[in-house]
Homo-oligomer: A and B are copies of this chain.
């Protein structure tokens, strides 16, 4: 069993804000992250796959395939977009890094399993100081 990780990147706007809360409560709970006119980040995304090494290729998974899959299912939908408004797989969800990592897992797990290996971890950096990891 071996683990292989591919890093991709996307730049997006978001805010942490509940419409069913007052502006005061949003500010109290979410602080500056609730700014009505949005803010944004350069997100770094690490997708880790686990599996056995294919004896012919020396690969767990073809990284060209994995990179293209992440681009098709995640990056194309979120890069240079607004996480709250523009991203189909985030519709109706809080735009926190935690929830976003879980949603990215849902986008990728089945396609990776179809390759004969398994999605192991979604690691998502919001800034150099904050990141989350989700293991399914």
Q: Identify the A interface with B (CB < 8 A).
A: 1-9, 11-14, 16, 18, 29-33, 35, 37-42, 48, 53, 56-60, 62-64, 67, 79-82, 85-86, 93-99, 101-102, 127-135
A40 with B12, Cβ < 8 A, contacts A4-B131, A80-B32 known: yes
A24 to B127, CA, bound (A): 33
A5 to B131, CA, bound (A): 5
Q: Chain A's interface: helix, strand, loop or mixed, by majority?
A: mixed
CB of A41 within 8 A of CB of B42, answer yes
CB of B13 within 8 A of CB of A29, answer no
CB of A31 within 8 A of CB of B64, answer yes
CB of B94 within 8 A of CB of A35, answer no
